[in-house]
Amino acid sequence: MSPGSTPTNHQYSWHETVKSLRLIGMKIEEHTVRGNSTILECRYDLQGEVLYSVKWYKDGHEFYRYVPRDHPPAQLFPLPGVHVNLTGSDDWKVNLQRLELSSTGRYRCEVSAEAPSFQTVSGHGDMLTVALPDRGPRISGGKPRYQIGDTVSVKCISGLSKPAAQLMWFINGEPVFFISTPTILHIRM
């Protein structure tokens, strides 16, 4: 500083906005029914980034890819138990149709930003596809009337399902508690 000069303070401010791709949330139904449809959702916020791709995986295997700069932007990869309705799917959701027992698994969504950041975020959820009984339970072996003290021996058979249906006995709306354990037979589907 030279004699007679006034001291001055120099203050510099530098503000930079940090862009950060983030996953807002996912929606994957925990339980689905064989033959029905479901929508898998993957919500994200690009926060100023440009979307490169959205990829979906089942049990680690890619089955759907959305790249907005490709024509067409959506691409499918065959996978057993995964039937994608392409017209009902986009970068935010995947529409699965004709669910099968083999549709059960871990589904993961992976979102990636374009250069220069190439940020990637992902999330997952587990889905169990069940087979409901094809008919209601049938009771056989009973008599029209019983006397006090009579032994009742009846059989209840449910329709095929997976997992196996849980059956409970009721008499006049009250649950029955068995003296001996009822026999339960499971048949593989």
Number of domains in the chain: 2
Helices and strands per DSSP (H, E), number in the chain: 0, 14
- Residue 90 token pair: 């986009």
Asked, for residue 58, whether it belongs to a domain, the answer is: yes
- Per-residue CA distances from 108 to 4, 57, 140, 179 (Å): 70, 5, 47, 48
- In angstroms, the CA 98 to CA 89 distance is 15
- 54-102 pLDDT per residue, tens: 999 999 999 999 999 999 999 999 999 999 999 999 999 999 999 999 9
- Angle, vertex CA 110, rays to CA 108 and CA 48, nearest 5: 145
Q: pTM (2 decimals)? A: 0.76
- 123-136 pLDDT per residue, tens: 999 999 999 988 88
What CATH number is given to the structural domain containing 100?
2.60.40.10
Last residue of a domain, one of 130, 146, 172: 130
| 32 in the same domain as 91 | yes
pLDDT greater than 70 at residue 7: no
